């Protein structure tokens, strides 16, 4: 194997993707000529205002949509191939738990569908429950949990088949600020433990800066890649990182993308 440090290997390649929704006369151009690469074991955020097509982009990578033109490859393969081989997990903004299943049963859903024996997957779900800190709640039903806990279940469920890639579509945007910060920390912890490649869609600049190795900034109507920014990281406790000068510098750099983009928006963007 080649040394990983020198040349990061490409996990996901997005090449000249365009996406148009609707039929003639009612066409909406969601994405225009979008290209970028995501490297193995990287944490990348797709950041942009609503209407920039970031969720669409994620769904294209996950083979939930077909692009109008362009090509996406994941590890040299078509996303469909990767989906059929269960090579990625997805977390949506809405936890999308099945309300008739307990927490543990929800986590085991992908394993059941995959056809793994019950005796084997019980151990897997127990480990995941431990990782997301929900072991005492494993026999609870989704409606008995807070929003943050439900989203933890969704994360554990996405990890249950141990896929190399995790797609997350604004997973924390419906949560209150405190829960959000806690879950961001936990996600970084999970990232450290599992070393997944994570593609994270968000409209929050601080969230993207705090979590990501790189931030892909998208502009809207139609969605295009505005710029791709490397996030420098400072070592230290997370609360320190959030208050550090470097963090503010990075946030400012990302913010500048939006202000520079259209002068008419300047000062109006809050």
Partner 1 sequence: MTGRWSRGWSGGAVVALWMVLLLALWEGAAWYIANVAQVTAPASKLPYPHLVLGTLREHFRPLLEQGAITFGNSITGFVIGSAVGCALAVVMSLSRTVEHTLSPYMVASQMVPIIGLAPIVYGIVHDAALSRVLMAGYVTFFPVTINTLRGLQSVKQEQLELMRSYAANTWALYTKLKLKAALPGLFAGLKLSGPLAITASIIVELMGAPDGVGVLMISSLYYGTSQVYMFWSTVLVSVAIGLVLFLLISLAERLITPWQPEFRANGGEPR
- For binding to partner 1 (CB under 8 A), which residues are involved? 59, 62-64, 83-86, 88-90, 92, 94, 96, 98-100, 109-110, 112-114, 140-141, 143-146, 161
Q: Report in angstroms how near the CB of residue 144 gets to partner 1 at its nearest.
A: 5
Nearer to partner 1, 39 or 141 (CB): 141
Nearer to partner 1, 105 or 126 (CB): 105
Q: Report in angstroms how near the CB of residue 210 gets to partner 1 at its nearest.
A: 26
Q: What does the alpha-carbon distance between residue 113 and residue 11 come to, in Å, rounded to a whole number?
A: 26
Q: Report in angstroms how near the CB of residue 28 gets to partner 1 at its nearest.
A: 17
Q: For residue 134, what is the DSSP state?
A: -
Q: Report in angstroms how near the CB of residue 71 gets to partner 1 at its nearest.
A: 20
Burial class, 239, CB count within 10 angstroms (exposed 0-12 / middle 13-18 / buried 19+)? exposed
Nearer to partner 1, 60 or 209 (CB): 60
Which three-class secondary structure state does DSSP give residue 126? helix
Which three-class secondary structure state does DSSP give residue 217? strand
Nearer to partner 1, 158 or 205 (CB): 158
Q: What does the alpha-carbon distance between residue 3 and residue 8 come to, in Å, rounded to a whole number?
A: 9
Q: Report in angstroms how near the CB of residue 100 gets to partner 1 at its nearest.
A: 5
Nearest in space to 8 (alpha carbons), one of 193, 163, 230: 230
Q: What does the alpha-carbon distance between residue 86 and residue 84 come to, in Å, rounded to a whole number?
A: 5
What residues pair up with 165 in beta bridges, in sequence order?
A: 88, 197
- Beta carbons of 164 and 88 less than 8 angstroms apart: yes
H helical segments located in the chain = 54-61, 79-84, 103-114, 118-131, 147-159, 177-194, 205-211, 238-243, 245-261
Q: Is the dihedral of CA 104, 105, 108, 110 positive or negative?
A: negative
Q: Report in angstroms how near the CB of residue 108 gets to partner 1 at its nearest.
A: 11
Q: Report in angstroms how near the CB of residue 152 gets to partner 1 at its nearest.
A: 14
């Amino acid at each position: 194997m080649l040394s990983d440090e020198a040349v990061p290997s490409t996990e996901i390649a997005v090449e000249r993707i365009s996406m148009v929704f609707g039929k003639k006369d009612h066409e909406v151009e969601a994405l225009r000529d979008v290209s970028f690469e995501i490297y193995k074991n990287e944490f990348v955020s797709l950041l942009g205002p609503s209407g920039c097509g970031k969720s669409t982009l994620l769904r294209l990578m996950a083979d939930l949509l077909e692009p109008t033109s362009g090509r996406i490859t994941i590890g040299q393969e078509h996303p469909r191939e990767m989906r059929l081989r269960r090579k990625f997990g997805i977390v949506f903004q809405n936890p999308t738990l099945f309300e008739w299943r307990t927490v543990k049963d929800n986590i085991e859903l992908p394993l059941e569908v995959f056809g793994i024996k019950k005796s084997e997957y019980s151990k897997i779900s127990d480990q995941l429950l431990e990782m997301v800190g929900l072991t005492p709640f494993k026999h609870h039903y989704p409606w008995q949990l807070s929003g943050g806990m439900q989203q933890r279940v969704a994360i554990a469920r996405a990890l249950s088949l141990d896929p190399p890639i995790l797609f997350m579509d604004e997973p924390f945007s419906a949560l209150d600020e405190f829960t959000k910060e806690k879950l961001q920390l936990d996600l970084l912890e999970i990232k450290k433990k599992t070393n997944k490649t994570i593609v994270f869609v968000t409209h929050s600049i601080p969230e993207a800066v705090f979590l990501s190795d790189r931030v892909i900034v998208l502009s809207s109507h139609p969605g295009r890649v505005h710029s791709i920014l490397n996030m420098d990281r400072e070592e230290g406790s997370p609360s320190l990182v959030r208050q550090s000068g470097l963090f503010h510098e990075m946030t400012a750099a990302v913010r500048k993308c939006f202000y520079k983009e259209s002068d008419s928006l300047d000062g109006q963007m809050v």
